[in-house]
Chains A and B, each alone.
Chain A
Amino acid sequence: MYKVKVYVTLRESVLDPQGKAVQQSLSNLGYQGVEEVRIGKYMELQFDDSVRDVEGTVKEVCEKLLSNPVIEDYRYEIEESAKQ
């Protein structure tokens, strides 16, 4: 069993109006030092042992569906986990 953590974030070149609004809100709360907020997505995938090439498959699903390469980057962590 593998637990895969996928992080999808907006590319540096893409403006994040949601993050900007959160940053503004933090600033209003008195947290002046928070310069920038970027909002992204976090996904957890559970793979069973039938998947041979876990890393290759993770890359494939990230590129095909989990992220949109036009506006987003992704990174992932793969952890081996014991059978439940």
Chain B
Amino acid sequence: MKFAVIVFPGSNCDVDMYHAVKDELGEQVDLVWHDADNLDEYDGILLPGGFSYGDYLRSGAIAHMSNVMAAVKRAAEAGKPILGVCNGFQILLESGLLPGAMLRNKNLKFICRTVELSVENNETMFTSLYDKGEKISVPVAHGEGNYYCDEATLAKLKENNQIAFTYASDVNGSLSDIAGITNEKGNVLGMMPHPERAVDELLGSADGLKLFQSIVKHWRNSHVVNA
């Protein structure tokens, strides 16, 4: 399986993501600059964390207008797995690929620590190797991770099982403790916690690795004969 890690000016988790895929997951991966307009050769798209365009205007607001996002939208429509982490999640929200928006953390502080997540939905291409309700340890590092949407959208997220991860206890004030959501089709996941920083016990946790392995498993099942 071949992944693209999209790099925007100001991305800073791109190399962590690259390392997670190449060395820990053992799959092919390229760093792809934000002006690319064709992602056809990639089977999965990863939008890393960071501060694209210095978070000017709003987190992810400028990045979502960049060239590559048109190609990301086409990949999403084609059903390819798209994962946005942290700033990558914010970019997916700004681009409309996922519903809702991010507000400043409730306590106004940048929160950087390992938190406990609950796997709400393990029937997605990103979470199939977890158990439902499984508790996993994954780091967060954000100032604007306070997920917000209107009531109708929240009801829809719940009804369609689009909430993939929640915080086991309140971290940043997010509605319903939402840490990660998918689109309706289930092939786009945005999450504030960093699974790419939890792919080896040496990093303090390897709980994030199963997320990447789930993507590969899904891809093999649908693309490789006799998988």
Contacts and interface: CB of A to CB of B under 8 A. Distances in A.
Interface string A10-53: 00011101100100000000000000000000000000000000
A17 B107 contact: yes
B101 A71 contact: yes
Contacts of B101: 68, 70-71
Contact of A18 (B57, B100, B108, B173): B108
Max chain A CB contacts within 10 Å: which of B58, B100, B173? B58
Contact of A68 (B61, B65, B146, B150): B61
A71 B102 CA distance: 8
B94 A17 contact: no
Kindly state the interface size class of chain B when it binds its partner.
20 to 34
Contacts of A13: 150
Given A21-B108, A68-B94, A70-B149, A15 B103 contact: yes
A66 B58 CA distance: 9
Main secondary structure of the interface of A (DSSP, over half): loop
B185 interface: no
A18 B93 CA distance: 22
Max chain B CB contacts within 10 Å: which of A13, A17, A21, A66? A17
Interface in B23-78: 57-58, 61, 65
A65 interface: yes
A71 B94 CA distance: 11
Contacts of A17: 103-108, 146, 173
A32 to B, nearest CB: 22
A65 B106 CA distance: 24
Contacts of A65: 57, 61, 65
B162 to A, nearest CB: 16
Nearest to B65: A65
B219 interface: no
Nearest to B93: A70
Contacts of B104: 17-18
Interface of B: 57-58, 61, 65, 93-94, 99-101, 103-108, 146, 148-150, 173
15 contacts: A17-B105, A17-B106, A17-B108, A17-B173, A18-B104, A18-B108, A21-B108, A65-B61, A68-B94, A70-B93, A70-B99, A70-B100, A70-B148, A70-B149, A71-B103
